Amino acid sequence: MYRHSRKSGATRPWEGAFIGGRGSTPYAVPAASYSEDVHDNRDDIRGFLASRRARITPQQAGLAPGGRRRVPGLRREEVAVLAGVSTEWYTRLEKGHISGVSDDVLNAVAQALQLDDAERAHLFDLARAAGARPRPRRLARKVRPGLQRMLDAMTDAPAIIRNGRMDIVAANRLGRAMYWPVFQMAHSGPANIARFQFLDPAGPDFYPNWDIAADITVALLRTEAGRDPYNQDLTHLIGELSTRSADFRARWAQHNVRLHHAGTKTFHHPAIGDLTLDYESMDLHADPGLNLTVYTAAPDTPSHDALRLLASWAATLDAASR
């Protein structure tokens, strides 16, 4: 795995700065660049459908086990029967010939493969992109002042806004303080959660449940790649991570996708220690491509006390940067 090195005495963009103060986000949302080529996503379709088929046993599908099986999961002909289509047709579909397929057929295949909401949406995203001319997704070009004011009004909870590439494009003071190790890695441009997790040696320390956190990050990137397949910046990030991290490559090959709305995360902050926080995450529909995540701790818990300590630590950094 790649290891990040730093020269002694060198400073980084977020060292001793931008921790406090209102409206201190140092850059706008990165402008995405797009390919003008016809999108060929047959490999993605094949990998996704084959991996979903392989995880379902005949018993789970309500079918007789049958004879000896050369591969795990359902056979193509069994999926075809469950979806109400011919074996030849489903075989073509799994080979990536999905362009022009009706919503009814896609829903039937999704039901046969027992796809969850995230997987069903991903299948439809793949179908929309198959063989189509580039249609760049309309994304927010900058973080509106009103969004930054909303973040800054949250004084007791870490809050960040990220894009689909996992760039942190805005944060309040506690959000910047909590994700301080991620900002430490960023030399130019936005701090990127995925790059930090997989390429920085501090990543496993910051995420005590690193395997789970890494699974979630890759699933979110795979979901975004289905939504926005022509985004070259996203493609370049995935290529970089695939080249430099075997852990990322292995997870990317699983074709897992995810909708990320609420849950609990554990962090180990280098200055504060352990934090177990609940999070609420929501897409900002007025700002396409941006997502708001807010972290809170249950009252009368060690993590609630740790958030107060984090606020004091952020104030210390503010004073030191003046």
Domain limits, the chain: 42-129, 145-321
Cα pseudo-dihedral 99, 100, 102, 106, rounded to 10 = 0
191 phi and psi angles, rounded to 5 deg: -70, 130
Using the predicted structure, report yes or no on whether residue 38 has a pLDDT greater than 80. Answer: no
pLDDT at 134: 59
Extract the tokens encoding 288: 């396409």
H helical segments located in 68-172: 76-83, 87-94, 103-112, 117-129, 145-153
Report which of 278, 298, 274, 162 is spatially closest to residue 209, judged by C-alpha positions. 274
Q: What's the pLDDT tens digit per position in 207-230?
A: 999 999 999 999 999 999 999 888
Q: Are 188 and 11 within 8 A, CB to CB? A: no
- The DSSP call for residue 285 is T
Give the architecture (CATH level 2) of 42-129. Answer: Orthogonal Bundle (1.10)
89-148 pLDDT, tens digit each:
999 999 999 888 999 999 999 999 999 999 999 999 999 888 666 566 666 668 899 999
Q: List pLDDT tens digits, range 240-297.
A: 999 999 999 999 999 999 998 999 999 999 999 999 999 999 999 999 999 999 999 9
Q: Which two tokens stand for residue 206?
A: 């910051």
CATH number for domain 145-321, candidates 3.60.21.10, 3.20.10.10, 3.30.450.180, 2.130.10.10? 3.30.450.180
* Contact criterion met (CB below 8 Å) for 276 and 290: no
Contact call for residues 3 and 298 (beta carbons, < 8 A): no
In whole angstroms, how large is the CA radius of gyration of the chain? 22
Residue 210 and residue 213: Cα distance in Å, rounded? 5
Cα separation of 223 and 82, whole Å?
26
pLDDT of residue 18: 39
Tokens 């699933």 sit at which residue? Answer: 219
